[in-house]
Amino acid sequence: MDMKRLLLILLFFTVTRCMAQTTPYGNNAAAGSYLKMKDGTKIYYETYGSGKPLVLLHGGLYGEIAEYESLIPVLSKSFMVIAIATRGHTKSEIGHQPYTYGLMAEDAYTVINHVTKDSVMLIGFSDGAVTALNLTLNHPEMVKKLVFAGGNISALSYRPGEMEQLKQLSGASLERDAPDFVSERKKQMPEPNRWGEFVELLKLAWINQVTITPDQIKTIKCPVLVAAGDRDQYNSIESFVSIYKLLPKAQLAIIPGSDHIILYRQPALMETMLVGFLR
């Protein structure tokens, strides 16, 4: 699937979500808060429900808290859900540091440590899965269970040609190819005039992703659910299987009839699987 087609699919889901959504997840003043990081950047997050803490980390660029809109109402019945908007996405500030997954993991760690002193369960999708894996490696005492959905452990994991397409993205190309998406995103951004700069900063994280080694993965002691679509356009099924085999306590779910955006393709299946794993 090429990037332009993926943009059209994501735009469809964005429009559909806006029409159907009653609770404005990701833009909910009643549930939202800001926390200032060490460098002064304000990170936005929302909390729902009560109980043991469960953290949600969304995908990159097109991702936002609202991609968990079908899961938050279910999960918040049993958990205190902490949904974090990654640096530069929607209502979180962009900041001025070069983006890395390590930086985003520390942002998440700071928010979590502010909200709760308890250990957490962690769901990460796509870029959020890479961030969640970094967080688990850097702060293993914090994570009780991890859902690693649609992520990777190296920039070399991408299918041939996909990284080159990502490198070609720019703020201007996105405004040209997905003007409605960019317009809606800018409405939430604290500094919409920095849209192009944000895209370039995020590309730094993609292009310069630090490879997580097999030896590092083997040190993860908490239970991990590795999940991916059987038609994921970014990473091969073999890459997810290899991660699963390295983990001491792991489950593997290859979602049938789904490309990368498994939360949208198979929402009922994902809900059943995630609730079962987290309990």
Q: How many domains does the chain have?
A: 1
Separation of alpha carbons 210 and 108, rounded Å: 18
Has residue 15 got a pLDDT over 60? no
Dump pLDDT digits (tens) for 250-264.
999 999 999 999 999
Per the structure, the complete domain to which residue 240 belongs is given by 3-12+29-278
Residue 176 belongs to domain with CATH number: 3.40.50.1820
Has residue 102 got a pLDDT over 80? yes
- Judge if pTM exceeds 0.75: yes
Residue 94 within any structural domain of the chain: yes
Residue 67 within any structural domain of the chain: yes
Q: What is the mean pLDDT of residues 18-32?
A: 83
Q: CA nearest 18: which of 249, 145, 181?
A: 181
Q: How far is CA 136 from the centre of its chain?
A: 14
Task: Write out the two tokens for 94.
Answer: 């962009």
Residues 249/229, Cβ–Cβ less than 8 Å: no
